[in-house]
């Protein structure tokens, strides 16, 4: 039996906060190369309600996972969703802020493990809730940095900064341009008269972690061989052609992907934006080699649907979802017709992020 917040808190919680997931439109595998990216926030969010626990224990509970975690003030959460929350708490304490034992209630309408960064949403919502409850100063960029450290140091996922920056600073109707080195960021409107849809391939991302770390290592080696701090510093795209395979192909993807983001962030037509998304997918497929046949097939089915301007895999790859840029009013129908073509031979895709409605941030103490 799952608990509702009233039962868990024995009344109303002191604070409610929330944060969205993210869908990346351009700039894939560029964040850990100090590069550029353009994500948007999902309409789906993770809600975190918290109160002081009033005893000597931390209590975390999630009805979605039907999981609960309890540990003493100086103890630690076992692995699982508790490690993200504990990471946020410990890192806030490391900033010199006194954090009393808390009750934390987590509810989400983000699909977990589908590449929409439900983990970043959990971290950002937890930090927002703590900021509201305890009243400490923490700007949204610093908050994203702490969230990323929670993921790396406590959940043990060696990620870049994109997901946490997007969850902390992006909205649903604009893209967030991010420079992963300087953390400079700004909102960039989506091309006029377009809308987005995200479709899941139905293939779980199995090899993602090991292949992700392998790609990171290849990029670092490529940068070393080219004598630059990170692949972001390669000014002339032809410079990568001197590298041996497969470093050449990996670096080619990163350098050109950064150029695609920079072009798109200046404001391009919807048609050009769609082309850049298609090129990004081909580069991820051929040079970065993180696509799989199902993602290629789903993107192709989306591109063939009326009203679709471009489609690409989104997130780390090796399974997961594709995002399509569509003419306004046509996304839902395009996804349905793409899925009709894709769903065969046992494949089963589904719409993961519907066309967003106008919904604003709602982060408020109660
Ligand atoms: P997802 O799709 O959430 O696994 C991962 C990294 C990002 C970024 C992208 C590739 C994590 C938690 N996040 O995203 O930082 O590098 O891959 O662009 O691993």
Copy the structure tokens of residue 45: 């969010």
- 162 touches ligand 1 (CB under 6 Å): yes
pLDDT at 356: 61
Atom of ligand 1 nearest to the CA of 117: 3
User: Of 98-102, 112-116, 160-164, which gets the smallest average pLDDT?
Assistant: 112-116
pLDDT at 80: 87
Helix H or strand E segment including 218: helix 208-226
Task: List pLDDT tens digits, range 145-183.
Answer: 999 999 999 999 889 999 999 999 999 989 999 999 999
> Rounded mean pLDDT of the chain?
94
- Residue 160 Cα to ligand 1 midpoint, Å, equals 7
Q: In the sheet where 36-37 sits, what is the strand order?
A: 36-37, 174-179, 185-189
pLDDT at 79: 82
User: Of 103-112, 147-156, 200-209, 350-359, which gets the smallest average pLDDT?
Assistant: 350-359
Residue 6 has pLDDT above 90, yes or no: yes
Q: Is 272 helix (H, G, I), strand (E, B) or coil?
A: helix
113: CB partners within 8 A, 6+ apart: 204, 205
Atom of ligand 1 nearest to the CA of 158: 19
- 31 touches ligand 1 (CB under 6 Å): yes
Q: Cα–Cα distance between 353 and 366 in angstroms, integer?
A: 29
Copy the structure tokens of residue 177: 């341009």
Task: List pLDDT tens digits, range 216-253.
Answer: 999 999 999 999 999 999 999 999 999 999 999 999 99
Q: Cα–Cα distance between 106 and 86 in angstroms, integer?
A: 13
CB 44, CB 38: distance < 8 Å:
no
Task: List pLDDT tens digits, range 299-337.
Answer: 999 999 999 999 999 999 999 999 999 999 999 999 999
Share of the chain above pLDDT 70, in %: 97
pLDDT at 310: 98
Helix H or strand E segment including 273: helix 270-286
The top-level CATH class assigned to 14-189 is alpha beta
- Residue 240 Cα to ligand 1 midpoint, Å, equals 24
155: CB partners within 8 A, 6+ apart: 83, 84, 87, 119
Q: Closest by alpha carbon to 205, among 317, 364, 306, 354?
A: 317
Task: Indicate the pLDDT class of residue 209, thresholds 50, 70 and 90.
Answer: confident
Q: Cα–Cα distance between 33 and 219 in angstroms, integer?
A: 7
Hey, which of 161, 212, 232 would you mutate to test ligand 1's pocket, going by the most ligand atoms within 8 Å of its Cβ?
Answer: 212
Share of the chain above pLDDT 90, in %: 86
- 163 touches ligand 1 (CB under 6 Å): yes
Q: Cα–Cα distance between 247 and 333 in angstroms, integer?
A: 40
Domain ranges of the chain: 14-189, 194-353
Residue 362 has pLDDT above 50, yes or no: no
pLDDT at 331: 97
Max Cα–Cα distance, the chain, nearest Å = 65
- 159 touches ligand 1 (CB under 6 Å): yes
Copy the structure tokens of residue 210: 């090991």
Q: Which CATH superfamily is domain 194-353 in?
A: GHMP kinase, C-terminal domain (3.30.70.890)
pLDDT at 360: 43
- Residue 352 Cα to ligand 1 midpoint, Å, equals 17
Task: List pLDDT tens digits, range 256-266.
Answer: 999 999 999 99
Q: Where are the beta strands (DSSP E) in 6-127?
A: 15-24, 36-37, 39-52, 57-62, 67-72, 102-108
Burial label for 296, CB within 10 Å (0-12, 13-18, 19+), is middle
pLDDT at 199: 97
């Amino acid at each position: 039996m799952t608990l509702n917040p009233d039962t868990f808190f024995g009344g109303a919680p002191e604070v409610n906060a929330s944060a969205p997931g993210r869908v990346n439109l351009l700039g894939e595998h560029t964040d850990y190369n100090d590069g550029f990216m353009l994500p948007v926030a999902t309409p789906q969010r993770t809600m975190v309600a918290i109160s002081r626990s009033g005893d000597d224990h931390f209590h975390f509970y999630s009805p979605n996972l039907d999981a609960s975690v309890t540990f003493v003030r100086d103890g630690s959460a076992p692995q699982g969703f508790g490690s993200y929350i504990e990471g946020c708490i410990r890192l806030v304490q490391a900033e010199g802020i006194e954090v009393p034992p808390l009750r934390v209630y987590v509810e989400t309408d983000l699909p977990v493990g589908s590449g929409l960064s439900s983990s970043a949403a959990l971290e950002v919502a937890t930090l927002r809730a703590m900021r509201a409850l305890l009243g400490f100063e923490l700007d949204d960029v610093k908050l994203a940095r702490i969230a990323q450290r929670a993921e790396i140091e406590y959940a043990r996922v060696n990620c870049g900064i994109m997901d946490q920056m997007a969850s902390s600073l992006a909205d649903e109707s604009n893209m967030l341009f991010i420079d992963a080195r300087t953390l400079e960021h700004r909102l960039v409107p989506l091309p006029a008269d377009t809308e987005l849809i995200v479709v899941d391939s139905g293939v779980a991302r199995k090899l993602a972690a090991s292949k992700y770390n392998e790609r990171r290592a290849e990029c670092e080696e490529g940068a070393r061989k080219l004598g630059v701090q990170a692949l972001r510093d390669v000014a002339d795209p032809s410079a990568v052609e001197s590298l041996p395979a497969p470093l050449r192909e990996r670096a080619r993807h990163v350098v050109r992907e950064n150029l695609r983001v920079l072009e798109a962030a200046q404001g391009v037509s919807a048609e050009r934006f769609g082309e850049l998304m298609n090129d990004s997918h081909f580069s991820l497929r051929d040079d970065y080699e993180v696509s799989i046949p199902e993602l290629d097939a789903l993107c192709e089915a989306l591109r063939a649907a009326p009203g679709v301007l471009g489609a690409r895999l989104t997130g780390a790859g090796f399974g997961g979802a594709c995002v399509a840029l569509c003419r306004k009013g046509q996304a839902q129908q395009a996804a349905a017709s793409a899925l009709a073509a894709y769903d065969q031979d046992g494949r089963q895709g589904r719409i993961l992020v519907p066309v967003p409605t106008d919904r604003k941030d709602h982060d408020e103490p109660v």
